[in-house]
Amino acid sequence: MDTISILEPLLKILFIIFVALLPAVAYGVLAERKISAFIQNRLGPNRVGPWGLLQPLADIPKLFFKEDIVPAAANKFIHSLAPLISITIAFSTFAVIPFGDTITFSIGDSSYTTKLQIADVNIGFLYILALSSLAVYGITLSGWSSNNKYSLLGGLRSTAQMISYELSMGLSLIGVVMLSSSLQLDDIVAAQGGYWLGFIPKWNAIPQFLGFVIFVVAMFAETNRLPFDLPEAEPELVAGYHTEYTGMKFGIFMLSEYIAMITASALIATLYLGGWQAPYLEHLGLSPFLMSVAQMAAFVVKVFAIVIFFMVVRWTVPRFRYDQLMSIGWKVLLPLALVNILLTGLFVILYH
């Protein structure tokens, strides 16, 4: 095994974590505070730096230096383990998402081409579904280990909610697999290249519109975002599963939530909105390197737009009651996901 094959995944991991995800989370929190302020006709953060742009630099050290309080009756080991489970799964999920096609670098007299994806696994989104099903353990264990009835209730709600919506989420993706004939995410993105009628991008969101809507709704529930944030539901559960967490442990839960939202947005873009495919980009006559950069930029723009959508929905749509939330998952999304599979099968038989 040569040095490049060892350094390549390591550099990709460092790039994704320290250049992409962590700064995106820091300024995602600021963006959400600004968006909520705009919707509510407030100013939002505006004191630290010009227009409040340095606010994350004040918030992060504050979390690090806050006192770490653990309840006397809590299970201290599980109490510390739960946030680590959440953050590990949040980071690991992003490993299989392609954020571009390939890029070529010149190293001395030779050139080197690498895929813009940390791990190209042939089970694709099954890996993501497996990890997302494990994410519930971080939330559930945090509620149980705190020895607090409010936290326990938040954890139990989260278990029921995430398991219920995972079923609809997984079934909604079967239509995408049927159209692309592959589980690999890069193959799914490649299958969305080209145009219908010469000008309509062949994105899965068009033939799979029903599955697209189901998947987006399920992702709101999986990431515990309003109107599906019943695991937290501050007015009735104090702060849900992380009621007894302070300092950086609470910060890790918040970091996990925002990384999960970014990952969900990247998945939506990858599976339904063409991934790094940008309409009409091939007509610009760009060099291979600039084409790769433009494709990465197209992917970032799509993810950014979906994240903004997540944030706007949080501050405009009221929270569902818990019985409404479970009814939507089992009585609406699940039957619609099965109907989508049937319709997609008929389409594949008739037109492929």
pLDDT digits (tens, 9 = 90+) for 231-285: 665 566 566 788 888 888 888 988 888 998 999 999 999 999 988 988 888 888 8
pLDDT of residue 238: 64
Highest mean pLDDT among 111-120, 127-136, 221-230, 330-339: 330-339
Determine if residue 116 is left, alpha or beta; phi over 0 gives left, psi from -120 to 50 gives alpha, anything else beta.
beta
Are 192 and 302 in contact, with CB atoms under 8 Å apart? no
- Mean pLDDT (the chain) is 87
What count of residues does the chain have? 352
State which H helix or E strand residue 51 sits in. Answer: none
Q: How confident is the model at residue 352 (pLDDT cuts 50, 70, 90)?
A: low
Is the confidence at residue 150, as pLDDT, over 60? yes
**CA–CA distance, 316 with 115 (Å, rounded to integer):** 39
- Mean per-residue pLDDT, 168-175: 91
pTM of the predicted model, to two decimals? Answer: 0.91
102 to 88, 114, 272, 290: CA distances (angstroms): 27, 6, 20, 11
Is the confidence at residue 86, as pLDDT, over 80? yes
CA dihedral (225, 227, 231, 235) positive or negative: positive
Q: What is the DSSP string of 165-228?
A: HHHHHHHHTHHHHHHHT-S-HHHHHHHT-SEETTTEE--TTTTTHHHHHHHHHHHHHHTT-TTS
pLDDT of residue 236: 60
pLDDT of residue 72: 87
State in Å, rounded, how far the first CA of the chain is from the last one. 42
Are 306 and 299 in contact, with CB atoms under 8 Å apart? no
Is the confidence at residue 1, as pLDDT, over 60? no
Pairs from 59-65 (Cβ < 8 Å, separation ≥ 24) = 59/26, 59/29, 60/26, 60/251, 63/247, 63/248, 63/250, 63/251, 64/247, 64/248, 64/251, 65/247
